[in-house]
Structure 1
Amino acid sequence: MLSLEALSVRYGKHIALDNVHLRVDPGETVVILGANGAGKSSLLKAISGLVTPEPGARIALDGHELAGVPPHRIPDEGIALVPEGRGIFTALTVDENLALGAYSKRARAGEARQREFIFDLFPRLAERRKQIAGTMSGGEQQMVAIARALMSNPRLLMLDEPSLGLAPVVVGELFDALGRIGASGVALLLVEQNVTISLQLAARGYLLEVGRVVGEGSAVELKEDPAVRRAFLGLNA
């Protein structure tokens, strides 16, 4: 479904991504592993149109080229991003955040159905739909961020560090919800520092180091990869 070829991103003289190749199949959950500064967020931003890749890059969804599509048009292509830091509208209510998430053309016909799915997924949001989002806990705000992205009716949902700063019990709830989202047929591309829980959720993954893909495989293979075991799981090879 999603295919990246020869993707490179620069910020001035700094090379954030260098000739990255990656794919996500329909309905598949894929995790991107890597230390801080490896280029994980730049990867999601390039797919979302938020940064411009170097010439020669190919970003395609079902063969349709996305490089050059402006960021505000990407949701209409069927891709939604939950950014690091959530990026919700803190002065607006839960309902208002969800309404803004349904702004794209592809979302409008199924808005009521998506809202019903979201409130079944996150009952707490149904209870607090009139609450100002900025007054909610960190975990609840992350639920709002995911829910707002889902309102665009995406085929591919990308998440940048969804568990960052959250208590373990909340992380468990969020990843249970992500599992249900994946089971509904939505593909997930996940950047996550919590390697253990992300490899439980994902079918496959990629390992990034200083902007380059240095490993890829199934979740089981990555769990056994010596580099992953040393760097992220605290285990000896």
Structure 2
Amino acid sequence: MFEAKNISVRYGKHLALDNVSLSVGEGECVVILGANGAGKSSLLRGITALSPRAPGGSVHYCGQDISDVPAFGIVELGIAHVPEGRGVFTKMSVEDNLRLGGNPVRARGSLNERRDEVLEMFPKLAERRRQIVGTMSGGEQQMVAIARALMSQPDLLLLDEPSLGLAPIVVGEMFETLKRVRDTGMSILIVEQNVHASLNLAARGYVIEAGRIVGEGDANTLMNDPVISEAFLGH
């Protein structure tokens, strides 16, 4: 369904991502593991054209070369990106954030139906539709960010560190919601440092270090890899 080949991202003289290749199958959940500064966020930003990619790489989606498609066009194709830091509109209500998420042309025809489906996945948000997002907790704001992305009717959802800064109980609730999203058949590419939770969600994963892919495998293999265990699980 999705394939990136030899993606590089450079910020000035700093090479943040160096010839990274990966793929996501239809209905598959894939995790990108790596320490802070490894290049995980740059990878997602490069995929969605939020950061300029260096020449030579390519991005294909559903058989189409989308290497030159701008960020707003990426959304219209059916790829939604929830960035690190959430990016929600804090002075607006939950309802208005969701309506903005449904603004792409592909989603406008079924805005109300989609909103009802999304709120069914996020019952807490259904109770707080009129609440100003800036008055909500970090976990609730993260749910708004994911729900808003789902409003665009994506087929591929990109998540950048969704559990960052959240209390453990909130992280558990969020990953349970992501399992429900996964079980709808949506493809998911998730960047995450919570190895246990993300490998329980994903079918397989990649390990990125210093801007390069240094390992990959199915979730069970990665969970039991001694290098992964020592680096991320504290064993």
1:161/1:192 contact within 8 Å kept: yes
Contact 1:31 1:189 in 2 (8 A): yes
Deviations 1:14-73 (A, max 9, x none): 111111110000110000000111100000001111011111111110121222211112
Q: In 1, distance between residues paired with 2:42 and 2:233?
A: 24
SS in structure 2 of the partner of residue 59 of structure 1: strand
Secondary structure, in 3 states, of the residue corresponding to 1:145?
helix
Deviates more, 1:1-10 or 1:64-73: 64-73
1:103 Cα offset (Å): 0.7
| Counterpart contact for 1:46–1:52, Cα < 8 Å | yes
Q: CA deviation at 1:112?
A: 2.1
> Hey, what does 2:48 align to over in structure 1?
48
- Structure 1 residue 95 displacement after superposition: 0.6
State the TM-score, normalized to the length of structure 1.
0.97
Within-5 A mapping of 1:153-164? 153-164=153-164
Which residue in the other structure is 2:118 paired with? 118
Question: 1:225 corresponds to which letter in structure 2?
Answer: D
Residue equivalent to 2:89: 89
Could you tell me which runs of 5 or more consecutive residues in structure 1 were left unpaired when the two chains were aligned: none
Residue correspondence of structure 1 range 1-237 to structure 2 within 5 A: 1-235=1-235
Say which SS state the counterpart of residue 175 (structure 1) adopts: helix
Q: What SS is found at the alignment partner of 1:154?
A: coil
Write the letter of the residue equivalent to 2:162: P
For 2:223 and 2:85, locate their aligned partners in 1 and report how far apart those are by CA, in whole Å. Answer: 27
The alpha-carbon deviation at position 110 of structure 1 amounts to: 2.6
- Take 1:176 and 1:217, find their aligned partners in 2: how far apart are those partners? 23
What's the offset of the Cα at 1:86?
A: 0.6
Q: Is the 8 A contact 1:110 1:153 kept in 2?
A: no
Alpha-carbon offset, residue 109 of structure 1: 1.9
CA-atom RMSD, angstroms? 0.8
Q: Structure 2 counterpart of 1:214, which letter?
A: V
- Residue type at the aligned position of 1:44: L
Secondary structure of 1:215's partner?
A: strand
Measured in 1, the distance between the counterparts of 2:17 and 2:219 equals: 23
1:93 and 1:169 mapped to 2: Cα distance? 24
Contact 1:47/1:66 (<8 A) preserved: no
Quote the offset at 1:119 in angstroms: 1.1
What TM-score results when the alignment is normalised by the length of structure 2? 0.98
